[in-house]
Amino acid sequence: MAESEGFPLAEPGLWVERTSATNFPDGRPALFLDRDGTINVDTGYPDDPAAVVLRDGIAPVIEAANVRGIPVIVVTNQSGIARGYFGWDAFARVNGRVLELLAEQNAFVDMVLACAYHEAGRGALAVADHPMRKPNPGMLLEAGRRLGLDLSRSLIVGDKLADMEAGQRAGLARGWLADGEGSTIGGFSVSPLRGAHHVEELLTAIRSL
Ligand SMILES: [Mg+2]
């Protein structure tokens, strides 16, 4: 698979990349974020770095975690790769642009995990209900192992219930759902994230970790 050479793939359908040089002591809580629709505007299988636009209000959330020494981890399903819409090379370019735009706002991501597996995929990526694909908690658990995180105090921000379910199943403390409604999933509290007021509540939660 020449197209995947040189990329940080832990296995054919799993990207795991350390994107900062920051060292964290064991036992830190983390801020997990979905990418498309949460950090950047979701354009549907985004594959063009020039089209990447950040959502309002998300860079300050990441910066608040940076300031407090809380690892920031992106966990993103990328079934577009399994479906043959684009390759890891396009993922790398789009993701690099997302991180670049965040850095311009003084917000830095420490680790990125991406899962390409999907039942509608091709070849080695054609896996139904892969443990790394949200709503399964595999990517969060993998980051937890690699960084020695305290998942029980960690937070997740996403724009789909699958993000929240992954957080609940990984044993996280709490979730925030962009454009969504508040709810509870098996005792896991999901708060809405719509506009400045809710961003302030999320910032308060991060600062109290
Ligand atoms: Mg999303």
Q: How many CB atoms lie within 10 A of CB 190?
A: 23
- Whether residue 164 has pLDDT greater than 90: yes
Q: How far is the CA of 158 from the centre of ligand 1 (A)?
A: 6
The C-alpha atoms of residue 158 and residue 123 are separated, in whole angstroms, by 29
Which of the residues are catalytic? 34, 36
When pLDDT is cut at 50, 70 and 90, the band that residue 119 belongs to is: very high
Task: Give me the residue spans of the domains in the chain.
Answer: 2-207
Strands, DSSP E only, in the chain?
Answer: 9-11, 14-18, 31-33, 72-77, 111-115, 155-158, 174-178, 183-185, 188-193
- Residue 127 has a pLDDT of 97
Percentage of residues in the chain having pLDDT higher than 70: 98
Q: What is the mean pLDDT of the chain?
A: 96
- Whether residue 68 has pLDDT greater than 80: yes
Q: How far is the CA of 203 from the centre of ligand 1 (A)?
A: 20
Mean pLDDT, rounded, for 112-118: 98
Mean pLDDT, rounded, for 92-102: 98
- Whether residue 170 has pLDDT greater than 60: yes
- Residue 3 has a pLDDT of 54
- Whether residue 101 has pLDDT greater than 80: yes
Q: Are 142 and 113 in contact (CB under 8 A)?
A: yes
- Structure confidence by residue, pLDDT tens digits, 131-149: 999 999 999 999 999 999 9
- Residue 133 has a pLDDT of 98
Q: 154-175 burial by CB neighbour count: b if 16+ within 10 A, else e?
A: bbbbbbbbebbbbbbbbbbbbb
CATH superfamily of 2-207: HAD superfamily/HAD-like (3.40.50.1000)
Mean pLDDT, rounded, for 180-187: 94
Mean pLDDT, rounded, for 151-179: 98
- Whether residue 2 has pLDDT greater than 70: no
- Whether residue 1 has pLDDT greater than 50: no
Q: How far is the CA of 53 from the centre of ligand 1 (A)?
A: 14
Q: How far is the CA of 107 from the centre of ligand 1 (A)?
A: 19
Q: Considering only CA atoms, which of 62, 57, 73, 60 is closest in space to residue 24? A: 73
When pLDDT is cut at 50, 70 and 90, the band that residue 4 belongs to is: low
Q: How far is the CA of 38 from the centre of ligand 1 (A)?
A: 6
Is the pTM higher than 0.95? yes
Q: How far is the CA of 42 from the centre of ligand 1 (A)?
A: 7
Mean pLDDT, rounded, for 144-166: 98
